[in-house]
């Protein structure tokens, strides 16, 4: 039997390639007649490294060029960190699978040689690096005395910048740190209810053309229903809030068992000001099959409780 070929589009960072190669290996293990090749595609977010994410645009910074290649037929599927994938996909593209979610938590990585291992250990006025407004808001909410430094680049570049700095440390997603084998660099893993994660954090999204049933059949074996339900709720919340990298939004969806043993989807979320002085936070729970509705309802509750004024203020200050 002739081998079938799938071309996978990916960003070129070490972490992105780890993710693409993981998908490649899983697909080839599931389908013995399949050959999978990885194509590297550079995105706007990879090219522009001298400005904060919140200053260079909003949606599709790490996906637009890959999606164009997918629509043009240059690749057959795209592998994204789900947190990078906008909630509105281009016409003709769909989310073919959501992989089983890794650890959703953020971690504190101390500067090499720094004896402080956790956020609570840091001295007053200490500098902590992050490229995320979501983290900045919540870190300042916890520790208003901290100085938050913006940092960009792939994880290896960020670690090199940290090592050559006088910062106390930086905050990253645990999933990426673990995937690169950096567990020994972690000082503290932060409770996800203390520092709410990004939408879709820890999961991979497999994007395909809507009209390619052949590709959909291949990727369905990578789909994880519980992770899909949790992230669907988070993405519906983000979509309703019309948020992106310019807005501090954190959310955490997970499937739990209630007192009667029934599965329930629990969703926490917040919208905050850039300086962390104002935060609107709430939670909802409901049936996992109603994930999208749950996310939208929680978003409307946040808006009614004051998130709308926070979002309006942030957007009025955003670059046009």
Active site residues: 84
- The H-or-E segment that residue 187 falls in is none
Instruction: Confirm if 107 and 186 have CB atoms less than 8 A apart.
Output: yes
Instruction: Confirm if 244 and 58 have CB atoms less than 8 A apart.
Output: yes
Q: Where are the beta strands (DSSP E) in 55-104?
A: 77-81, 93-98
Q: State the sign of the Cα–Cα–Cα–Cα dihedral 184, 186, 191, 196.
A: negative
State how far the alpha carbon of 238 is from the alpha carbons of 8, 188, 191, 281, 297, in Å.
27, 27, 21, 14, 11
Torsion angle (degrees, nearest 10) of CA 156, 161, 162, 164: 130
Instruction: Confirm if 245 and 133 have CB atoms less than 8 A apart.
Output: yes
Cα 75 to chain centroid, rounded: 23
Q: Where are the beta strands (DSSP E) in the chain?
A: 4-10, 34-40, 77-81, 93-98, 106-110, 127-130, 147-150, 169-173, 188-189, 204-209, 249-257, 263-272, 279-286
DSSP per-residue codes, 133-167: HHHHHHHHHH-TT-EEEE--S-HHHHHHHHHTS--
- Structure tokens, 311: 């979002």
């Amino acid at each position: 039997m002739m081998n079938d070929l799938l071309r996978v589009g990916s960003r070129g960072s070490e972490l992105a390639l780890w993710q693409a190669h993981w998908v490649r290996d899983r697909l080839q293990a599931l389908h013995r007649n399949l050959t999978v090749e990885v194509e590297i595609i550079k995105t706007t977010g990879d090219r522009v490294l001298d400005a904060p994410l919140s200053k260079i645009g909003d949606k599709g910074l790490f996906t637009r060029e890959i999606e164009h290649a997918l629509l043009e037929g240059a690749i057959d599927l795209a592998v994204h960190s789900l947190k990078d994938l906008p909630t509105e996909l281009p016409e003709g593209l769909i989310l073919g699978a959501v992989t089983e979610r890794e650890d959703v938590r953020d971690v504190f990585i101390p500067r090499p040689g720094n004896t402080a291992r956790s956020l609570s250990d840091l001295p007053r006025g200490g500098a902590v690096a992050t490229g995320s407004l979501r983290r900045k808001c919540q870190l300042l909410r916890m520790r208003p005395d901290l100085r938050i430094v913006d940092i960009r680049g792939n994880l290896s570049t960020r670690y090199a910048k940290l090592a050559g700095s006088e910062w106390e440390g930086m905050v990253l997603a645990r999933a990426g740190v673990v995937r690169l084998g950096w567990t020994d660099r972690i000082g503290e893993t932060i409770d996800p209810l203390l520092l709410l994660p990004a939408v879709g954090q820890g999961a991979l999204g497999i994007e395909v053309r809507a009209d390619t049933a052949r590709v959909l059949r291949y990727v369905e074996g990578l789909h994880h229903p519980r992770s899909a339900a949790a992230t669907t709720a988070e993405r519906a919340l983000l979509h309703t809030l019309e948020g992106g990298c310019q807005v501090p939004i954190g959310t955490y969806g997970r499937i739990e068992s209630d007192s009667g043993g029934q599965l329930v989807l629990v969703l926490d979320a917040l919208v905050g000001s850039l300086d962390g002085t104002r935060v609107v936070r709430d939670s909802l729970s409901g049936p996992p099959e109603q994930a999208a509705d749950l996310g939208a309802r929680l978003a409307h509750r946040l808006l009614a409780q004051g998130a709308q004024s926070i979002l309006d203020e942030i957007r009025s200050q955003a670059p046009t």
